[in-house]
Amino acid sequence: MMIRVISPKNILRILAGLSILIFMSSCEPLATGFDDTEDATMYQASSLRQAPQPDSAILVMTWNIRFAIGRSPWFGDACGNNTVFTKEEVMPHLDSIVQAINMTKPDILMLQECDVASQRTAYINDLQYIIDNTYFNYAAYVPEWKAQYIPSDGLGRMDMGQVILSRWSIRDSKRINLVTRGDQSGLVNYFYLHSCIITGKIKIPGFEEFSVLNIHASAFATDDTKKKHYEEFKSMLDKIDAEGGYFLAGGDLNELPPGSDSTDYCFEDMCPGESFHQPGDDPQHKDGSNYTPEITWLQPLYDDYVCAVPLDRYQHNQQAYFTHTTRPGHFWDRTLDYLFTNYRWVENSDITHQYLLKYSDHAPVSAMFVLKKEN
């Protein structure tokens, strides 16, 4: 019997190979950068529930859940002093969100600002909890803000993103990166969130497959970044439309509908010690609160596609469709959340769930989405 002795040279090669393998697999950057298009992370319920067979339409909803901290005074958007929330603080809000979902029972739900592993929310996986405690069978997740450590205000580790939840399986789900904010320094931008769209395709038996697109556009950009986001969003919708497909699109566009009466929220959003609109104030407007120069930026979407809340109806009774406020304890004061399609909504089926005032700083919007029968 021959015994083959491994030479020292080969031992070196093996060790070098192993070391390189470890090196490559462990080298996670401090903040995650994104490619233009990436695959989404897919979730599935531990036990699948029988999905109902719709007649002609399904209930769809969009909701920015504000990482399940309800209306708590977070430092980033509500003049608060708190950055980090405990499990005991987050769980009641998450339970309320689950309760609202189970009560409303959308068939497809688009979420924004969903934390899956962030230090600020005690590393609770909001999405896993929602799947485990609702009737959804499938979900797709893409990160919008992902970093090992954000060395600012104690934010620490961050993994927040957008979600599509569905009773039916989701295929070909992608993360589409939107243009980077042009009004930030390179260092800030490296650790900052990167706006995106999550897409997916859903096939319900008996109906044509449709596309789902869930966007969270920039909230605080002061240049034309938001406009570019809407243009990118619309060009994706245009492409689906041109190819003969139909879509359900929506999310938190962080923009007012054209024709809104009030377009400057600097005073509503002003924190103690801040001053705007006064001579010598720099900046003159609070970041993300002055929509005046942007008021027509959503017009192309309204021109070409069907909003669940028609523009003329909104313009005649704006307060009834407000979905957001930055001020804890105040009623909704502006509309930022939308549902669009290139097909049809069941007429007057839309609901702006303004009664869910304590669940997030955004109200969910739902409507009955008409499905195209398969030929």
Partner 1 sequence: MKKTALLILLLASITSLVSAQSPFVTKYMSFNTAYLMPAKKWESGIRQPFRIGLSQKTELFSTVLALPLTPNAGIKFAWGEKGSFRFATAHSLSVPSPVMNILSREDIGGFISPEYTFPFILSVNNSVLASGPVCDSALLTFKADFLFAIRGGDIDPQSTIDLPVIYPRMAHYYKGSSVRLSANIKAPVMKKLGVEEGFQLFLITRNENNFFAENTGYLYWKMSKKMLLKAGYNLSYGVYPFGNHWQLWPSLDLLFGTSK
Question: Of 1, 5, 27, 242, which one interacts with partner 1 (CB under 8 A)?
Answer: 27
For residues 170 to 209, the per-residue mask of contacts with partner 1, x marking binding by CB under 8 A and - elsewhere, is -----------------xx---------------------
Is 12 a binder of partner 1 (CB under 8 A)? yes
Question: Of 42, 79, 91, 117, which one interacts with partner 1 (CB under 8 A)?
Answer: 117
Question: Of 154, 182, 206, 283, which one interacts with partner 1 (CB under 8 A)?
Answer: 154
Question: Of 2, 4, 6, 28, which one interacts with partner 1 (CB under 8 A)?
Answer: 28
Question: Of 148, 299, 315, 354, which one interacts with partner 1 (CB under 8 A)?
Answer: 148
| ∠ CA 316-108-233, rounded to 5° | 65
CA distance 120 to 124: 9
Q: Whose CA is closest to 75, among 132, 154, 131?
A: 154
Question: Of 37, 152, 275, 319, which one interacts with partner 1 (CB under 8 A)?
Answer: 152
Q: SS3 for 232?
A: helix
- Cα dist. 146→70, 209, 265, 356 in Å? 21, 31, 29, 28
Q: Minimum Å distance from CB 188 to partner 1?
A: 7
CA distance 298 to 55: 32
By CB under 8 A, the residues from 56 to 95 that bind partner 1 are 75, 81-84, 86
Q: Minimum Å distance from CB 203 to partner 1?
A: 34
Q: Minimum Å distance from CB 90 to partner 1?
A: 11
Q: Of 153-161, 198-206, 288-296, 308-316, which part binds partner 1 (CB under 8 A)?
A: 153-161
CA distance 374 to 206: 6
111 within 8 A of 251, measured Cβ to Cβ: no
Kindly report the backbone phi and psi dihedral angles of residue 145, in degrees, each rounded to the nearest multiple of 5, phi listed first.
-140, 110
Question: Of 39, 95, 132, 153, which one interacts with partner 1 (CB under 8 A)?
Answer: 153
Kindly report the backbone phi and psi dihedral angles of residue 174, in degrees, each rounded to the nearest multiple of 5, phi listed first.
-135, 160
For residues 301 to 340, the per-residue mask of contacts with partner 1, x marking binding by CB under 8 A and - elsewhere, is ----------------------------------------
Residue 108: strand pairing partners = 60, 166
Residues in the chain, total? 375
Residues forming contacts to partner 1 in the complex (CB under 8 A) are 8, 12, 15-16, 19-20, 22-23, 25-28, 75, 81-84, 86, 117, 119, 122-123, 148-149, 151-157, 187-188
